[in-house]
Amino acid sequence: MSLATAPSGLARDGANGRFAEPLVRLERVGKTFANGTVALAGLDLAIGRHEFVSLLGPSGCGKSTALRLIAGLARPTSGRILGPEGAPRGAVGFVFQEPTLLPWATVFDNVWLPLRLQGVSRRQALGPVGEALAMVGLAEFAAAYPRELSGGMKMRVSIARALVTRPSLLLMDEPFAALDEITRLRLNDDLLDLWRAQSWTVVFVTHSVYESVYLSTRVVVMAPRPGRVVADLPIEAPWPRDEAFRTSPAYNALCRRVSAELHRAMGA
């Protein structure tokens, strides 16, 4: 099956944004680093199956930390996380805030890595890796080394690497921040297509109000010091979303609401 056109077995209720079965639940989660920094305190967050949740908040409010906790890459210092534990390998895809590529490996080998770690041979990986690279528009750069790519291209390689295992939970930390407007909009649409076609759950960290409203079924606004959730806004807009949605009054109204919440989070 191709990455973009797999049939969805699920009837999606995009307008509602609330889905019955939570996939990940963070209960009163706190994270204090060894140096005493309180990154998160009393964070409550439930992420339902097949939701598209954006985490929005000012720099340093603990978005990356929350994402790492969900992925199981860090442990909470208080509270608990009921997570996608026991999920098979490759079921969680993670896009780090930095590209995080192997500098000694070509673009192809970097995207092959998650499959390789599961014992997929290079030949078996040709198809999936090719598709993932085509998705992010880098098919011709398979043989290049990371240092020969621009910042945005490296980021796209890292997105392809997260997609190649077709994860059921995709965690993305500002994946499009380094990209130009046009590429970003195109990748936004590609991501939405994928999410709608596959039965994915996405947690998406961003700084952009517009991006979060366009993509999400829910926008979670966080405030800093200590990091916590201050607003949880369902984005009740119809699917599919496209250019027309982006220019609609409904979209503008939603952006204004989210923006106001963000201002409150930063100002208070």
Partner 1 sequence: MATTLEPAKAGLSGTIEPAERAPASDRLARILAPTIIALLVVLGWEAIVRLNDIPHYILPGPSLVARELVESWPVLWPSLLITVKIATLALLAAILGGVGLALLCSLSRWIEIALFPYAVVLQVTPVVSIAPLILIYVDNTLSAVVLCAWIVAFFPILANTMLGLASADHNLRDLFELYGASRWQQLCLLRLPTALPYFLGGLRIAGGLSLIGAVVAEYVAGTAGTGTGLAFRVLEAQYRLNIPRMFAGLLLLALTGVAIYLIFGALSHLLLHRWHESAVRRER
Collapse the DSSP code of 92 into the 3-class scheme (helix H, G, I; strand E, B; otherwise coil) and give the result: strand
Decide if 26 contacts 45 (C-beta within 8 A). yes
100, interface contact from Mg ion, partner 1, ligand ATP, none, CB < 5-8 Å by kind: partner 1
Q: Which is nearer to partner 1, 156 or 218 (CB)?
A: 156
With 0-12 / 13-18 / 19 or more C-beta atoms within 10 angstroms meaning exposed / middle / buried, residue 242 is: exposed
Given 29, 51, 53, 62, the residue binding ligand ATP (CB under 6 A) = 62
Residues 210-229 touching ligand ATP, rule: CB under 6 A, are none
**Least separation, in Å, of the C-beta of 259 and partner 1?**
28
Given 50, 61, 64, 211, the residue binding Mg ion (CB under 5 A) = 64
**Least separation, in Å, of the C-beta of 236 and partner 1?**
30
Decide if 197 contacts 4 (C-beta within 8 A). yes
| Residue 118 in contact with partner 1, rule: CB under 8 A | yes
**Least separation, in Å, of the C-beta of 152 and partner 1?**
8
Residues 247-266 touching Mg ion, rule: CB under 5 A, are none
Decide if 221 contacts 57 (C-beta within 8 A). yes
- The crossing angle, in degrees rounded to 10, of helices 181-197 and 151-163 is 0
Q: Which is nearer to ligand ATP, 78 or 97 (CB)?
A: 97
CB-side neighbour CA atoms (13 Å) of 107: 27
Residues facing 64 on adjacent strands: none
Report the interface residues with ligand ATP, using CB under 6 A. 33, 35, 37, 39, 57, 59-65, 97
Report the interface residues with Mg ion, using CB under 5 A. 64, 97
